[in-house]
A and B are shown apart, each in its own frame.
Chain A
């Protein structure tokens, strides 16, 4: 029988050394140093922190790669039909065409830029990296609920990335039908690029699904004693709702991916209309015309059923990070914690019933489009509540303008612009003009780039000291912030202007052949130069990151004097395989943002700190191993 679990309701107790090691290492005392080989410790690690770092490094590399694709695309838009002269890249990559990017390559880069940024950049960083690393720490858990499933998720992710990257080296190049892969273009696309995209997506979706199960079970089951749901840090709430979105929204895209794969590989007609002509003849499979009578619209419905919740997956962890950084650097609790939480839950629920606002111009009837317009307008309410609460959290605060806070502050108006520009898109009338224009691109990039990515930078600067025990350089950080903030606006604001003027999206020459676009073509150069300047400022970040990792100033375990337990209850970095010293999991006594509590000698009171006399309202059973008296503050 298992002695370790019978009767012991408290996690992290000093356990019987004879109990079975869940990692399958055999029976030896877990408190003895594990003699793990390099491979088991770093390549096949089941530790959430190592897995988080693996996701993080991979995601940052893909963000850089996806950014590079766009840098080349922007050159083609600003200087259409010319050699790409910057850094001699044109001649290097496309010697056959004299250094010019062909339109096919532009389309390939466009499709892969979107796919890579969303599925291999932002979500793995926000959820796979930050979520994996900090959710267990913030709830006082020793690891995720299913460590080996966590490892499987990360390997499925890696497999998906390999497949996607490999597609660049295929003869016909990677997918080129947009990240949205609309049928029948995607089904009829020549070469194997699109097929590789579908297989890669299936692997990435599998990774997300397994990961989301892990997150939800961890947050529900592994909260340490005293941690009720309404005492959870907002970051954890955001990750919980995000995990539900991933769990329930991804399967229809998996179904759609299988259907499209069947259409491409087995000649079925799930998405193929009747009588489709390709290059002058009926589209056929194996010599005979396809069955037809399928529905291209069906792909759109299945795709957007996921892809709309997906955009909330992109923003929610970012909101979580911003909330943590704002509370910490205003030295006061968040405004309206309960409203924030209820808004988050309502947002998650609503996100499932707005998807067809991406399809207003597909010929749907006025009744159904009115339905989606209404739900879209309603969903803006919780978003506004959350943003307003974050703004109001600043009021009366004792604001510290360190680098993470600058990024968090920058996020707020940027997300405001992103959200507000979404409103005309959600109104069917205005969307008639704005659909498929640069306004759409401006809108969603404002939310993701000056929005989420800036929030992720805040997270990196904020949590770097916890992960490494060193801090990043403040001057370089502030330089990085200023340049990034300015350049991102330089790139994305002109898109709104061009879009209102009617410039269409996905044009390799940036609209040069259209009369109505002529007065606004100069903006292409503005945007391109801003993009390359943005790239230069990211070099500042990369230098700062790498240098600080090796030689940054060492700091204390609770460098930012924060109240959440990842700061107060474990060292920097946390103990491998166990997180907390001596296996003592923290006990939670209060809410997550008890800053500037009157009567306390510090301006922050960590969640796990014991105060004399002990409060009466501790929720769970008190652990047997807790020592009376004394603070359990930072190391």
Chain B
């Protein structure tokens, strides 16, 4: 029992099933990440701002901003002369901890190029397959996976740096949404890696029997992968540049 138009295109729509399916799925993903970005806007608008009451407090604040490392220790050691409420306000004001993001900004920028490169290798994989070069396809898929894993490794460094500084999701709303959105994006990268691993190790049979069907699957995976890349293209400026 064969499902029609799984590989060949239906004449009146010009699509095969997988391609339509993946575009619909991406539409729902747009709604997901769109909702998340909208929440970012809400949280940022709702965040309080801290205005130092006097000259001395302004100076303390500037010292803390200038040297954001071990912020928690500095603010909690009792010598900062900040009141409890002011302390909480500083923690909650949106831009305060962006100093923490700065050391890892170049890591994040590297990640951006890593993902863009992985999108390129993904297309090369599909193109190689369409040009009947299975060996090159395997190489490019392996490269895509390697770049994706590089992304995850760099991300792990970033997260660890923050945890080391005492920054967790519960620290402030800014970090709550930062960790949630980048984490969810990371999960999507992992999902893509799983599919790519399947396409790397288990595609030989289908390549021999139904190469067009395999090419269709690779194309759909590529569409998904480009979407994941696109989400990062939005995440990076919003979290690392717009602050």
On A, residues with C-beta under 8 Å from B are 1-2, 4-6, 8-12, 15, 19-20, 22-23, 30, 141-143, 145-147, 149, 209, 212-214, 216-217, 220-222, 247-252, 254-256, 258-259, 262, 266-270, 274, 285-286, 289-295, 298, 302, 305, 577-578, 583, 620
User: Chain A residue with minimal CB distance to B31?
Assistant: A251
User: Chain B residue with minimal CB distance to A22?
Assistant: B3
Q: Mark interface residues in B7-38 (1 if CB within 8 Å of A CB, else 0).
A: 11011110111001100110111011001100
CB contact under 8 A between A19 and B2, given known A217-B24, A266-B169, A268-B180: yes
CB contact under 8 A between A262 and B180, given known A221-B10, A255-B39: yes
Check if B211 sits within 8 Å of A213, measured CB to CB.
Answer: no
CB contact under 8 A between A2 and B212, given known A142-B3, A294-B43: yes
CB contact under 8 A between A220 and B169, given known A9-B8, A269-B176, A298-B39: no
**Min CB gap B230→A, angstroms:** 16
CB contact under 8 A between A213 and B176, given known A248-B28, A285-B170: no
Question: Is B4 at the interface (CB under 8 A from chain A)?
Answer: yes
A-B contact pairs, 14 of them (CB 8 A): A5-B2, A11-B2, A20-B209, A23-B1, A141-B4, A217-B17, A217-B20, A220-B13, A248-B28, A251-B31, A251-B32, A268-B173, A270-B43, A291-B176
Q: List A contacts of B12 (CB < 8 A).
A: 620
CB contact under 8 A between A255 and B15, given known A216-B24, A267-B170, A291-B172: no
Q: List A contacts of B168 (CB < 8 A).
A: 266-267
CB contact under 8 A between A291 and B171, given known A2-B213, A268-B176, A302-B35: yes
Q: List B contacts of A20 (CB < 8 A).
A: 206, 209-210, 213
Check if A11 sits within 8 Å of B4, measured CB to CB.
Answer: yes
Q: Which of B27, B46, B169, B206 contacts A248 (CB 8 A)?
A: B27
**Min CB gap A455→B, angstroms:** 27
Question: Is B234 at the interface (CB under 8 A from chain A)?
Answer: no
Having A221-B4, A295-B42, one finds 5 other A-B pairs with CB under 8 Å, namely A5-B6, A259-B39, A262-B176, A266-B168, A267-B169
**Min CB gap A622→B, angstroms:** 14
Q: How far is the CA of A290 from the CA of B28 in the complex (A)?
A: 32
On B, residues with C-beta under 8 Å from A are 1-8, 10-13, 15-17, 20-21, 24-25, 27-29, 31-32, 35-36, 39, 42-43, 46-48, 88, 91-92, 168-173, 176-177, 180, 184, 206, 209-213
User: Chain B residue with minimal CB distance to A298?
Assistant: B42
User: Chain A residue with minimal CB distance to B15?
Assistant: A221
Check if B20 sits within 8 Å of A209, measured CB to CB.
Answer: no
User: Chain B residue with minimal CB distance to A269?
Assistant: B173
Q: List B contacts of A141 (CB < 8 A).
A: 4
Q: How far is the CA of A262 from the CA of B168 in the complex (A)?
A: 12
Check if A251 sits within 8 Å of B5, measured CB to CB.
Answer: no
Q: List B contacts of A214 (CB < 8 A).
A: 21
CB contact under 8 A between A22 and B180, given known A146-B17, A268-B173: no
Q: How far is the CA of A293 from the CA of B91 in the complex (A)?
A: 11
CB contact under 8 A between A293 and B92, given known A247-B27, A259-B180: yes
List the 8 closest A-B pairs by CB distance, nearest first.
A11-B4, A267-B170, A251-B32, A268-B176, A252-B35, A251-B31, A255-B35, A5-B8
Q: List A contacts of B180 (CB < 8 A).
A: 258-259, 262, 268, 270
**Min CB gap B181→A, angstroms:** 9
Q: How far is the CA of A274 from the CA of B89 in the complex (A)?
A: 11
Q: List A contacts of B10 (CB < 8 A).
A: 221
Check if A286 sits within 8 Å of B28, measured CB to CB.
Answer: no
**Min CB gap B166→A, angstroms:** 11
Q: How far is the CA of A244 from the CA of B33 in the complex (A)?
A: 18
CB contact under 8 A between A145 and B17, given known A22-B3, A295-B46: yes
Check if B210 sits within 8 Å of A2, measured CB to CB.
Answer: yes
Q: How far is the CA of A22 from the CA of B92 in the complex (A)?
A: 54
Check if B32 sits within 8 Å of A254, measured CB to CB.
Answer: yes
**Min CB gap B148→A, angstroms:** 22
Q: Which of A146, A209, A270, A293 contacts B47 (CB 8 A)?
A: A293
Q: List B contacts of A249 (CB < 8 A).
A: 31
Q: How far is the CA of A220 from the CA of B4 in the complex (A)?
A: 12
Q: List B contacts of A285 (CB < 8 A).
A: 170
Q: How far is the CA of A39 from the CA of B12 in the complex (A)?
A: 39
Q: List B contacts of A305 (CB < 8 A).
A: 35
**Min CB gap A46→B, angstroms:** 10
User: Chain A residue with minimal CB distance to B92?
Assistant: A293
User: Chain A residue with minimal CB distance to B171?
Assistant: A291
Q: Which of A8, A221, A254, A269 contacts B13 (CB 8 A)?
A: A221
**Min CB gap B150→A, angstroms:** 26
Q: List B contacts of A147 (CB < 8 A).
A: 3
Check if B212 sits within 8 Å of A248, measured CB to CB.
Answer: no
Check if B4 sits within 8 Å of A293, measured CB to CB.
Answer: no
Check if A270 sits within 8 Å of B4, measured CB to CB.
Answer: no
Q: List A contacts of B36 (CB < 8 A).
A: 255
**Min CB gap B86→A, angstroms:** 14
Check if A248 sits within 8 Å of B31, measured CB to CB.
Answer: yes
Q: How far is the CA of A249 from the CA of B21 in the complex (A)?
A: 17
Q: List A contacts of B20 (CB < 8 A).
A: 216-217, 220-221
Q: List B contacts of A212 (CB < 8 A).
A: 24, 28
Q: How far is the CA of A523 from the CA of B204 in the complex (A)?
A: 70
Q: How far is the CA of A274 from the CA of B47 in the complex (A)?
A: 10
Check if A146 sits within 8 Å of B21, measured CB to CB.
Answer: yes
User: Chain B residue with minimal CB distance to A273?
Assistant: B46
**Min CB gap A21→B, angstroms:** 8
User: Chain B residue with minimal CB distance to A222?
Assistant: B4
Check if B28 sits within 8 Å of A222, measured CB to CB.
Answer: no
Check if A6 sits within 8 Å of B8, measured CB to CB.
Answer: yes
Q: List A contacts of B46 (CB < 8 A).
A: 293-295
Q: Which of A6, A22, A255, A291 contacts B173 (CB 8 A)?
A: A291
**Min CB gap A295→B, angstroms:** 6
Q: How far is the CA of A256 from the CA of B12 in the complex (A)?
A: 39
Q: Which of A143, A220, A259, A270 contacts B3 (CB 8 A)?
A: A143
Q: List B contacts of A294 (CB < 8 A).
A: 43, 46, 173
CB contact under 8 A between A578 and B1, given known A2-B210, A251-B29: yes
User: Chain B residue with minimal CB distance to A261?
Assistant: B180
**Min CB gap B132→A, angstroms:** 11
**Min CB gap B31→A, angstroms:** 4
Check if B28 sits within 8 Å of A250, measured CB to CB.
Answer: yes
User: Chain A residue with minimal CB distance to B206?
Assistant: A20
Q: How far is the CA of A259 from the CA of B39 in the complex (A)?
A: 10
Q: List B contacts of A289 (CB < 8 A).
A: 88
Q: List B contacts of A220 (CB < 8 A).
A: 13, 20
Check if A9 sits within 8 Å of B11, measured CB to CB.
Answer: yes
Q: List A contacts of B88 (CB < 8 A).
A: 289, 292
Q: How far is the CA of A290 from the CA of B91 in the complex (A)?
A: 11
Check if B170 sits within 8 Å of A266, measured CB to CB.
Answer: yes
Q: List A contacts of B212 (CB < 8 A).
A: 1-2, 5
Q: How far is the CA of A251 from the CA of B29 in the complex (A)?
A: 7
Q: List A contacts of B177 (CB < 8 A).
A: 270
